[in-house]
Amino acid sequence: MYATARRPESIADLEADGCRTLQLDVNDDASMTAAVRAVEAAHGAVGALVNNAGYGQEGAFEDTSMDEVRRQFETNVFGLVRMCQLVLPKMREQRSGRIVNVSSVGGKVTFPGGAFYHATKHAVEALSDVLRFEVAGFGIKVSIVEPGLIKTAFGDTATASIAASSVYSDFNAAVAKRVEGAYEGLMGRMAAGPESVAKAIEHAVASRRPRTRYRVTAGARVVLTSRKLLPDRAYVLMMRTQFPQPKA
C-alpha cells in the first residue's frame, strides 16, 4: 500500500503501519507520472487508485478570482483526471483494477457561497460515471465516495480564502460563519470521523462487487434525500433561511 502527499513528511507516521510513502502533487504532471511509474516498476501496475486530493473554495461567485477558480479545478478535477489516465494503461493490460474517486454530498447538493467547489464535485460525479462505463469491459471498476460532514480541518481551509468585498461582505461573513459552525447543531451530530470514509474506500477497493456510490454519514443521506424531495423553489426558500441573500 502506498500513501502520497505533496509533503511526504506530513504522512511519515503511516510508515510505522507498513505503508510506503511517495511524493505526489496533483498540480504537477511530472510528480504524478513519477509516482505512478514507481509503483508500476515495483508491482507491474497500480492495483487500486484512490483520488482523495481536494479542498473547498468558499465565497461569492463574483468575488472569486480566476486564479482561485483555476486552482480549485486543477486540484479537485484535473489532477484526478490525470491520475486516472496515468494508471489506466497498465490496469487494462492486467485486465483488473479499482478506481475510487472521493467526491462529496456537495456533488449533488449546492449551498450558497460554494459555487466552484460544487462545480468541481459535480464534475467528479459525471467523470466517474462515464469512466465506469468505458473501462468496465477491461475488468476495471470505478466507485464514488460521497462524504457528508467529516470531522477534519476542511472547514478552516474552505474559509481561509474568502475574499473581502464591499458588496458581498455580509454574505461572505455569513458563509464563513455557516461553514465554521457546520459541526454544531443537528448536522454536527450527524458528522463522522475520517475513519468512516476510510471504511467506505476499503469496501470499494476490496469488495468483489463494489457499489457505484458510497454515501458516508447520516447527514449526507438526509441532505441528499431532502434535496431530491424538494422542488427547486422550495429549496431556494429554505436556503434564504440560512444565508442572507445579497441585494442592492
User: In the beta sheet, which residues pair with residue 140?
Assistant: 97
Q: Please name which of 58, 64, 39 lies closest in space to residue 50, comparing C-alpha atoms.
A: 39
Task: Report yes or no: 224 and 160 within 8 Å, Cβ to Cβ.
Answer: no
Kindly indicate the confidence band of residue 45, based on its pLDDT and cuts at 50, 70 and 90: very high
Output the pLDDT for position 186.
Answer: 53
Residue 53 has pLDDT above 70, yes or no: yes
| 144: β partners | 101, 213
Residues in the chain, total: 248
pLDDT at 155 over 50: no
Which domains does the chain show, CATH number per domain? 1-44 (no CATH), 46-240 (3.40.50.720)
Q: Say which residue, 14 or 187, is predicted with more confidence.
A: 14
Residue 104 annotated to the active site: no
Measured between alpha carbons, how far is residue 36 from residues 5, 77, 130, 176 in Å? 13, 18, 23, 37
Categorize the per-residue pLDDT at 245 as very low, low, confident or very high, splitting at 50, 70 and 90. confident
Q: Which of 146, 157, 142, 158 is nearest to 50 (CA)?
A: 142
Q: What pLDDT was estimated at residue 77?
A: 98
Tell me, yes or no, if 103 is annotated catalytic.
yes
Alpha helices (H) along 136-193: 154-160, 169-180, 185-189
Torsion region of 210: left, alpha or beta (phi above 0 gives left; psi -120 to 50 gives alpha): beta
Return all residues near 245 (Cβ < 8 A) that are at least 6 apart.
171
Per-chain mean pLDDT for the chain: 89
- What is the C-alpha separation between 45 and 94, in angstroms, rounded? 8
Q: Residue 163's pLDDT is what?
A: 61
Q: What percent of the chain has pLDDT over 90?
A: 64
One of 90, 108, 117, 214 is an active-site residue; which one? 117
Residue 168 a catalytic site member: no
Choose, from 121, 128, 168, 214, the residue flagged as catalytic.
121
pLDDT tens digits, residue range 168-227? 888 888 888 877 766 565 555 666 788 999 999 999 999 999 999 999 988 888 889 989
If we measure between CA atoms, which residue out of 233, 229, 204 comes closest to residue 216? 204
Q: Which of 103, 104, 143, 196 is catalytic?
A: 103
Residue type at position 221 = R
pTM above 0.95, yes or no: no
